[in-house]
Amino acid sequence: MIWGRETWEEVFNTCDVYHIEVDGKCAGDAILEDKGRGAKTIVDFSILPGYQGRGVGKEALEEVKKKGGRLTAITRKETLGFFFKCGFVLRKTIRDYYFPGVDGYYITFSSAVTL
């Protein structure tokens, strides 16, 4: 899906948008929406194909996690393994989230230490 100008204006007004660079070149992006009380939702986390499998995504997600609090996201099956390796846990499967036959997976990460 391609986002139009109105969607981007909404994103820039309501979210933190981070440009991921490697050696001065665009490698992807991370878009976070503040949900209050220390919670943020990952609206988009994308690494360009030429940078995938090189640790760029993991390093970028570690920077996102340093922001603290609780992170949530809804993602596709194809990216679940990546998020699991980065410490996220599956909370719920949302049937037909993207469109019929393509489920969404609600995942969370908490930087809060529990004793």
The pTM score is 0.82
Nearest by Cα to 95 from 83, 86, 82, 104: 104
pLDDT for 69: 78
pLDDT for 42: 94
pLDDT for 115: 42
pLDDT for 9: 77
The DSSP-derived string for 23-58 is: TTEEEEEEEEEEEETTEEEEEEEEE-GGGTTTTHHH
Class of the 5-110 domain?
alpha beta
State how far the Cα of 107 lies from the Cα of 91, in Å rounded to an integer.
Answer: 5
pLDDT for 92: 97
In this prediction, the residues of the chain whose per-residue pLDDT falls under 50 are 113-115
pLDDT for 101: 94
List the domain boundaries for the chain: 5-110
pLDDT for 75: 95
